[in-house]
Structure 1
Amino acid sequence: MNAPPAVASLLLPVVVGVFLALLAMETRRPLRAFCRDRLKAAFSTNTSAFLVNNLIMSVFSASSLIAVAGKYAGYGVLARAPDGPAKWALSFILFDFVVYAWHYAGHRFEGLWRLHKVHHSDRTFQVSTGLRFHVFDQFLEVVVKCLCAVAIGVEAHVVIVCEVVRMFFVLFHHANITFPGEQLLSYLIITPSLHRAHHSTRRSQHDSNFGVVLAVWDMIFGTRKELTPKAVGLELIQADNLVQLFSLAFVTEERLAQVVHLLPRKRRDG
């Protein structure tokens, strides 16, 4: 099976289609009501971040993953396994574990948290939150995925499927929705109710539920928490536009920086 020349050719239509479908669902029947102005500002910032990051990262990410998988997949632990559904499924499971571990590291190590907290700075929780990432965070994630592709021996076409499924779940579990059977389903996959706890303002609560697709990793490593957070976002600082969002990675909660309101400001609820 040959991989297409660019993952972006498949990823972008999937992202847009899933995003619009989930947006329609949460607009029609939102689980939680947010301040209209806050929601509008978050939506604008998040989609702007996605557009800028996509312009910078999409070609690099796609070409890197496909080039690495195509050239070095033969050296991985699954390289000699026959190509088929069993190998694809195992590759996906291992790939999902690596993403879980990377997400955990983003909370555990201060250098990585500075980048990852950009994602947590959204004071709303809705589908566009799944687009809110720092470009440097995404760059490092591509490096990790390339190393993963080599170590596991993931074929290029499997990498594409993994990326499409992962992006679907990133949007899905950020959606401001609920549905019948969600609690039961959350023991199989990451659902919005689980990931909502991950965005709590309280560090003791948001250092949990690191899974992206499969729920099993949080259960195995004891990082699963089932709760409804009182508030989402960061406790001390906020970022209300694209410049502030980018700058947030260079600001610590302990040493708040204010330079003509370009850097993230102290949070004021209301």
Structure 2
Amino acid sequence: MKGNKWVLCAVAMVCLNVVWGQRNLDTIYANESKNVALFFPSPILRAVTGHKNFIFSYDREEAGYFGLLKGVESVESNLLVITLDGNAYTYILKYAKELTRLNHFVREGDCVGNLRPAQELQVKEDSMVLKMSHYERFCTLLLDRKSKAMVATRKKGILLQLEDMVYDAREVYLVLGIQNRSGIDFELDRLEVFMINGSSKRRASYQEISLEPNLKYGVPSKVKDGEMVRFVYVLPKFVLGDRERLKLVIEELHGNRCLELRN
């Protein structure tokens, strides 16, 4: 039963990668008295025939480059072979009392598709799941710490503070907080992070570079009156020079309240 499931999965995956209108499948003839050898450009990972009257034997312990085919008189069948490089080969099998060809050397171009793109996609998806899991664990850990302010600014009852900057591999985690004591709920329109160099008073030497986050964790859409909300921005790794600083800007969605914070 497991073998049948594997065959169905393999065939489905091959079909996804086969170009519509492919060439007709080659036919291989076999009988019960002689071995027909098939040599592949990559070691055989899996192989299966469609009918029990055709047997394709290969080394299942240590992947080899060839397999042997035998068959008894019966209805025609097919052979599906998956090689270690992900290529899939499929053939029509027929019985013949007399054989004119005993050796088949398969070329890589004879494959009908490749399973590797599907496998690589799964690997990427798995990696993304692991990455997101790491983000969540690390952000949760940072937010579990006691709140502290490295630098803060307040305007019209709204407080914006930068609590921490934590480097992790190729990223920087900014722990931020917004407190609302204005008497009116604050709906967040945008929060942007910039790296600035020089002084805005000297336009010729002033530079402002927007830093796009890889992830925003726990960012609120609204901070209710009397509420304090903490969240995390995950940015690509950067290191501030002697004349460089961070600038954070938040703006209200339905209103004109805007805060600018520089560290």
Which TM-score band (shorter chain)? under 0.3
In terms of Rg, which structure is larger? 2
TM-score by length of 1: 0.21
**More helix by proportion, 1 or 2?**
1
**More strand by proportion, 1 or 2?**
2
